[in-house]
Chains A and B, each alone.
Chain A
Amino acid sequence: MKKGAFGGSVLFGASLFGWCTLSCAPNRKLPEQVAIEKEIASEAKGTAKSVVSGGGDLERFSNDKERKKLWTVSWKKAALDFDLTESEFGGQIQEVSGTFCENGKVASTFIAREGFIDRGSKVIRLKGGVKVVSVKEDISIDCGELSYDGASGIIEAPAGITARMGGYLIREPDSVLAQMGKESKAVLAKPDLKKIGTAGLFDKP
């Protein structure tokens, strides 16, 4: 997979060509960068388009002047939709991997079976065998699903995570409670995983 979106080596389908030409016009601000390896099918509805693709990469940036990188994701298969006017992608992706960023720098890496990207949102949701590993620390978390809000810089897992810090293991209680349909407590984490905790204590200084 080629990084550095919109490179000549990336193969685009005919339905994407016009959008790409529009997006790559001089002085046009790109809210994100995306590279799609292989288009399988596409459909146009007004200014919105959807495409079922093979592998691809996506980098999402902040909307401010600094355009800090919030997160990146790569996938092997996807059903994407995008808006020609907003130039932002969304959709469901599969066999995903990527990075969570903090202040524009990669803070952790992740893998998951599925991912969900909402168009116009800074949130990426991951589901199925989710694993996040801190880049600098010997810390990782495993869970069934989580979301990362690039705008607030917070990872949130609904319940049932296992965290590893050094040789230590945190098996938090919510996995069983969630299975029983009882109240469960969301777990929050910073993108570098230096701080992890349930919502009630996460903000405690």
Chain B
Amino acid sequence: MKRLNVSLGLIALVTGLSISQTQSPTQKGIFDKNGTELRVTGFDEWSVEKLPKGQFQLIMTGRPHAEWLKQGLDLKAKTLEMRATSDYKLIAAELKGGIEFSADKQGSNGRVVVRAESATYTDADEKLVVRGGLSLDQKGASNGQVLHAEGSGGTVLLDRKGTDQNLIKSATLNGPIKFKLSGMRDDEDAKKKLPFFVNATAGILTYVKSEGKVVLKDNVKIDGNDPSIFGEISGVHTVTLYLTESGEITKIVMQGDPGATKIEQKSKGGGGR
């Protein structure tokens, strides 16, 4: 028995060595400037071209990871095509294949992460056009608000420099939509914070920060423990969630199809059910 254990141990050791050899990280390319400004790692094939006006074009394949440190942008994909200024500020990027696009709010811990099949980003208008099945997450906003949305493509405008905590300036996502908003809200006496969440499915989602509302359309189903919601509601044509700047829901307006039912429940600051 002891001999068997030793043999098994040897087999495990050899197998482990074999696995560690096959799984040892392959040497990948690195493009950086002493770890500042921009760092690209993890690429197999690459091309760097200096364009007119001093711009650079960088194309990397494999599993490149580009960290635009000055701009708070983090890009991952099977293929990254990026254009930058002469001082390596990202102008635009094309992300293809299992992409992950992250943006940080400057001066805060707010972060947006978008995962999808492909995307195009232009920095001038902070516009991310996303194609294919996507998930969008915003974390680090005030009140511990976490926003999660899934869809099949759409457009997200960012606001990395704004003074508020919210990184998303606006978003339009195509369905089928899964939406979840959670965070902390004041109780009735505003003496303590209570957790809340809202879950919804819909055909389309639009969000405009300046208007402070999320609009869900087409066969909306909504549920949650926010006092603005009473029970699970489905088959609604349009649901509008009105939010404070810090992400708390102030009211939810539901409009049925063809509009015969209109339910409006103003929040009185209650806690979760």
In the complex where A165-B56, A168-B38, A204-B59 touch, is A195 in contact with B48 (Cβ < 8 A)? yes
In angstroms, Cα B28 to Cα A167, docked, is: 20
- Out of A137, A167, A170, A194, name the residue touching B46 (CB < 8 Å): A170
Q: Mark B70-93, 1 if CB is under 8 A from A, else 0.
A: 000000000000000010100000
Complex CA–CA separation, A140 to B211 (angstroms): 52
Once A197-B59, A201-B61, A204-B59 are accepted as A-B contacts, the answer to whether A170 and B47 lie under 8 Å apart by CB is no
Q: Are A171 and B45 in contact (CB under 8 A)?
A: no
A170–B27 touching, CB < 8 Å = no
Contact A197 B33 (CB under 8 A): no
Question: CA separation between A165 and B61, bound complex, in Å?
Answer: 19
Whether A197 and B50, one on each chain, are in contact in the complex, defined by CB atoms closer than 8 angstroms, is no
Instruction: List A155-175 residues whose CB lies under 8 Å from chain B.
Output: 163, 165-173, 175
Indicate if the CB atoms of A169 and B46 lie closer than 8 Å.
no
Contacting residues, chain A, for B43 (C-beta < 8 A) = 173
Name the B residues within 8 Å of A167 (CB-CB): 33-34
Given the complex of chains A and B, what is the CA–CA distance between A197 and B38 in angstroms?
Answer: 18
- Contact: A172 with B46, CB < 8 Å? yes
| Number of A-B residue pairs at CB separation under 8 A | 71
Which residues of chain B have a CB within 8 Å of any CB of chain A? 26-34, 38, 43-50, 56, 59, 61, 86, 88
Bound CA–CA A167/B87 (angstroms):
10
Known: A165-B56, A194-B50, A201-B59. A185 touches B45 (CB 8 A): yes
**Chain A residues with CB under 8 A of B28:** 173
Contact check, B59 vs A168: say whether CB atoms are below 8 A apart. Answer: no
Contact of B31 among A169, A177, A185, A198 (CB under 8 A): A169
- Top 6 closest pairs, chain A to chain B, by CB: A197-B47, A176-B27, A201-B47, A195-B49, A198-B45, A194-B50
Give the distance to chain A from B37, nearest Cβ to Cβ, in Å.
8
Contact A198 B49, CB 8 Å, known A165-B56, A169-B33, A173-B27: no
Q: How far is the CB of A188 from chain B (nearest CB, A)?
A: 9
Chain B's nearest CB lies how many Å from the CB of A202? 6
A197 to B50, CA, bound (A): 12
CA A167 – CA B27 in complex, angstroms? Answer: 22
- Contact between B47 and A195, CB atoms less than 8 A apart: yes
Mind listing 29 A-B residue pairs with CB under 8 Å?
Answer: A137-B50, A165-B50, A165-B56, A168-B32, A168-B33, A168-B88, A169-B30, A169-B31, A169-B32, A171-B29, A175-B27, A177-B26, A185-B44, A185-B45, A194-B49, A195-B48, A195-B49, A195-B50, A196-B48, A196-B49, A197-B48, A197-B59, A198-B45, A200-B61, A201-B45, A201-B46, A201-B47, A201-B59, A201-B61
Distance (whole angstroms) from the CB of A193 to the closest CB of chain B: 8
Is A139 positioned at the interface, with any CB of B under 8 Å from its CB? yes
Interface of B is mostly: strand
Given contacts A168-B88, A200-B61, 13 further A-B contacts (CB under 8 A): A137-B50, A168-B33, A169-B31, A169-B32, A171-B29, A171-B31, A173-B26, A176-B27, A185-B45, A195-B48, A195-B49, A198-B47, A202-B47
Counting chain B CB atoms within 10 Å of each CB, which of A137, A170, A177 scores highest? A170
| Residues of chain A in range 80-133 having any CB-CB distance to chain B below 8 Å | none
A201 to B61, CA, bound (A): 9
B67 to chain A, nearest CB (A): 13
- A139 and B46 contact, Cβ closer than 8 Å, known pairs A173-B28, A177-B26, A177-B27: no
In the docked arrangement, what's the CA distance between A198 and B44, Å? 9
Expressed in whole angstroms, the minimum distance between the Cβ of B55 and any Cβ of chain A is: 11
Contacts of A198 in B (CB 8 A): 44-47
A170 touching B48, Cβ below 8 Å: yes
Please determine whether B31 and A170 come into contact, CB atoms closer than 8 angstroms.
yes
Task: Contacts A185-B45, A196-B47 given; indicate if A171 touches B59 (C-beta within 8 A).
Answer: no
Complex Cα gap A200–B50 (Å): 18
Please determine whether A171 and B30 come into contact, CB atoms closer than 8 angstroms. Answer: yes
Min CB–CB distance B146 → chain A (angstroms) = 36
Q: Which of B27, B56, B86 has the most CB of A within 10 A?
A: B27
- CB-CB under 8 A from B47, the residues of chain A are 195-198, 201-202, 204
A173 to B26, CA, bound (A): 8
**Chain B neighbourhood of A169, CB < 8 A:** 30-33
Decide: A170 near B88, CB < 8 A? Known: A137-B50, A198-B47, A201-B45. no
